[in-house]
């Protein structure tokens, strides 16, 4: 049977017509007859399309603000002024956080002093120094509510992790509320360190490159896991600092530089001279060291303070004088890691602690070099001194045993 070809309007009519579409059609017909209603309807449609378009543009602008150039970002001391949290569903805590870094950088009168700080401490087999470390943290005069503490425990064979957690809980639950920190995070992550953490094990020249590269990776891991958009500063601190001013954070901040390190010495028993410049990793580059670097293999790392690497650099540690002004600073190329204050924008810009040979250096010394390469200010304070603890070496212990046997004082 030959099929019947229906005219166009009838073909439409063959579709099953629901009650809804029948009503819609009759409404459309009526509206077409009334010219005014017809016009008003189309204006409404146009307004709707325009609104959707404007919304799209607004969203794009917000996205652009989010990827603001971090080089020009100054995170303000009160980031809540510039952040908003849009809660969508209180029950499940779903929210969208918005940080306007552009606005912050455009404020003319605000300085970089103050602001929230991330305090990072790596730890390995450090149970013997935990009390000392917590005393220092407790005494810090920088407002504790502005400090987030982040600990990374790695490759430890002692009780560091358990004791650390215990003490952190005690610290956060004490009666003195101004001592409570905004947040404490404890992370456990082994990076495969096999070199002993004893004083002689870790000071041998041949283990330095491996140890420093591994520490670089550990530091980067801790930082990238904990740095948040609302942090203005990052303070790196070793656990084995014996003496340090309680106001160190604000003292270093006052210089308002990208990276600032104090001088690091260590106390010694009287029979060894009483005191000694300690951290030789903060230095000013020399032409001899650049020449030395050019003779090394790509993966080699220069480690400062060893006769095997004659660099003839100026060390921050040796510039100290007891009468020197605490305000004095010098520009550095390499920095030690015992106590580093850096603006958070340094890390947001991509600087890190190389876990490989970068310009013949790794970890904190590589970090100093990288920051300089990126045009940042890196300074050291020759007369502002903190004290690393003294741990007797095997030789010192032997000597002390002999002295004791001879009835000589060993303090």
Interface residues with ligand GTP (CB under 6 A)? 122-124, 126, 152-155, 191, 193, 202-203, 214-215, 218, 238-240, 337-338
Whether the CB-CB separation of 142 and 259 falls below 8 Å is answered with no
Indicate the angle between helix axes 35-66 and 19-33, nearest 10 degrees: 110
Least Cβ distance, residue 205 to ligand GTP (angstroms): 12
Closest to ligand GTP by CB, 155 or 304? 155
Closest to ligand GTP by CB, 202 or 243? 202
Determine the Cα–Cα distance for residues 143 and 182; give it in Å rounded to an integer.
9
Closest to Mg ion by CB, 240 or 250? 240
Go through the chain and tell me how many residues it has. Answer: 411
Determine how many CB atoms are found less than 10 A away from the CB of residue 180: 16
Closest to ligand GTP by CB, 337 or 354? 337
**Sign, CA torsion 370/213/209/391:** positive
Closest-CB residue for Mg ion? 240
Closest to ligand GTP by CB, 266 or 345? 266
Q: What is the CA radius of gyration of the chain?
A: 32
Closest to Mg ion by CB, 78 or 240? 240
Residue 335's nearest CA partner among 311, 320, 313, 316 is 316
Closest to ligand GTP by CB, 123 or 359? 123
Q: φ and ψ at 116, to 5 degrees? A: -80, 145
Indicate the angle between helix axes 130-139 and 160-172, nearest 10 degrees: 30
Whether the CB-CB separation of 376 and 351 falls below 8 Å is answered with yes
Q: What, of Mg ion, ligand GTP, none, does residue 140 touch, CB below 5 to 8 Å by kind?
A: none
Q: What, of Mg ion, ligand GTP, none, does residue 334 touch, CB below 5 to 8 Å by kind?
A: none
Least Cβ distance, residue 306 to Mg ion (angstroms): 16
Closest to ligand GTP by CB, 203 or 383? 203
Determine the Cα–Cα distance for residues 166 and 184; give it in Å rounded to an integer.
12
Whether the CB-CB separation of 276 and 268 falls below 8 Å is answered with yes
User: Does 242 sit near Mg ion (CB under 5 A)?
Assistant: no
Whether the CB-CB separation of 326 and 381 falls below 8 Å is answered with yes
Q: What, of Mg ion, ligand GTP, none, does residue 337 touch, CB below 5 to 8 Å by kind?
A: ligand GTP
Q: What, of Mg ion, ligand GTP, none, does residue 215 touch, CB below 5 to 8 Å by kind?
A: ligand GTP
Q: What, of ligand GTP, Mg ion, none, does residue 266 touch, CB below 5 to 8 Å by kind?
A: none
Least Cβ distance, residue 198 to ligand GTP (angstroms): 10
Whether the CB-CB separation of 207 and 357 falls below 8 Å is answered with no
Least Cβ distance, residue 66 to Mg ion (angstroms): 39
Determine how many CB atoms are found less than 10 A away from the CB of residue 232: 23
Closest-CB residue for ligand GTP? 154
Task: Record the tokens describing residue 72, joined without a space.
Answer: 């020009």
* Strand partners for 185: 150
Among 100, 127, 200, 240, binds Mg ion (CB under 5 A): 240
Least Cβ distance, residue 155 to Mg ion (angstroms): 15
* Strand partners for 122: 152
Closest to Mg ion by CB, 278 or 358? 278
Least Cβ distance, residue 408 to Mg ion (angstroms): 28
Q: φ and ψ at 123, to 5 degrees? A: -140, 140
Whether the CB-CB separation of 216 and 362 falls below 8 Å is answered with yes
Closest to Mg ion by CB, 211 or 345? 211
Q: What, of Mg ion, ligand GTP, none, does residue 261 touch, CB below 5 to 8 Å by kind?
A: none
Angle CA(364)–CA(369)–CA(373) in degrees, nearest 5?
145
Determine the Cα–Cα distance for residues 95 and 103; give it in Å rounded to an integer.
21
Least Cβ distance, residue 95 to Mg ion (angstroms): 41
Q: What, of ligand GTP, Mg ion, none, does residue 193 touch, CB below 5 to 8 Å by kind?
A: ligand GTP
Least Cβ distance, residue 116 to Mg ion (angstroms): 27
Q: What, of ligand GTP, Mg ion, none, does residue 202 touch, CB below 5 to 8 Å by kind?
A: ligand GTP
Determine the Cα–Cα distance for residues 293 and 222; give it in Å rounded to an integer.
29
User: Does 300 sit near Mg ion (CB under 5 A)?
Assistant: no
Q: Which part of the chain contacts Mg ion (CB under 5 A), choosing from 127-135, 182-190, 202-210, 233-241? A: 233-241
Least Cβ distance, residue 363 to ligand GTP (angstroms): 8
Least Cβ distance, residue 281 to ligand GTP (angstroms): 7
Q: φ and ψ at 194, to 5 degrees? A: -115, -15
Which residues of this chain interact with Mg ion, rule CB under 5 A? 238, 240
């Amino acid at each position: 049977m030959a099929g019947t070809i229906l005219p166009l309007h009838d073909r439409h009519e063959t579709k099953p017509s629901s009650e809804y579409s029948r009503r819609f059609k009759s409404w459309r017909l009526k509206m077409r007859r009334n010219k005014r209603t017809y016009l008003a309807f189309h204006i409404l449609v146009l307004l709707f399309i325009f609104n959707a378009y404007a919304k799209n543009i607004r969203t794009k602008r917000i996205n652009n603000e989010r990827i603001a150039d971090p080089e020009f970002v100054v995170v303000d001391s009160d980031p809540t002024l510039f952040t908003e949290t849009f809660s969508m569903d209180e029950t499940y805590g779903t929210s969208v956080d918005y940080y306007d870094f552009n606005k912050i950088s455009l404020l003319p009168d605000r300085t970089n002093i103050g602001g929230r700080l991330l305090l990072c401490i790596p730890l390995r087999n450090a149970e013997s120094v935990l009390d000392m470390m917590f005393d220092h943290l407790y005494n810090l005069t920088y407002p504790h509510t502005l400090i987030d503490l982040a600990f990374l425990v790695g490759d430890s064979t002692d009780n560091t992790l358990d004791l650390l957690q215990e003490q952190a809980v005690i610290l956060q639950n004490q009666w003195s509320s101004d001592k409570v920190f905004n947040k404490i995070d404890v992370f456990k992550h082994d990076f495969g360190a096999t070199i002993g953490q004893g004083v002689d094990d870790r000071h041998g020249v041949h283990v330095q490159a491996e140890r420093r590269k591994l520490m670089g990776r550990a530091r980067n891991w801790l930082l990238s896991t904990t740095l948040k958009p609302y942090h203005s500063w990052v303070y790196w601190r070793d656990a084995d600092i014996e003496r340090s001013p309680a106001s160190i954070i604000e003292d270093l901040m006052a210089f308002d530089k990208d990276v600032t390190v104090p001088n690091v010495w260590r106390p010694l028993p009287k029979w060894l001279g009483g005191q000694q410049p300690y951290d030789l990793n903060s230095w000013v580059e020399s032409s001899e060291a650049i020449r030395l670097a050019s003779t090394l293999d790509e993966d080699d790392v220069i480690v400062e303070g060893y006769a095997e690497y004659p660099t003839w650099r100026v060390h921050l540690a040796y510039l100290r004088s007891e009468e020197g002004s605490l305000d004095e600073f010098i520009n550095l190329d390499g920095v030690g890691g015992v106590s580093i204050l850096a603006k958070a924008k340094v890390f947001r810009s991509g600087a890190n602690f190389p876990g490989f040979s970068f310009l013949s250096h790794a970890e904190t010394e590589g970090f100093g070099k990288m920051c300089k390469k990126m045009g940042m200010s890196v300074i050291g304070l020759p007369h502002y001194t903190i004290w690393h603890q003294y741990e007797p070496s095997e030789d010192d212990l032997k000597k002390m045993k002999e002295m004791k046997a001879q009835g000589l004082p060993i303090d």
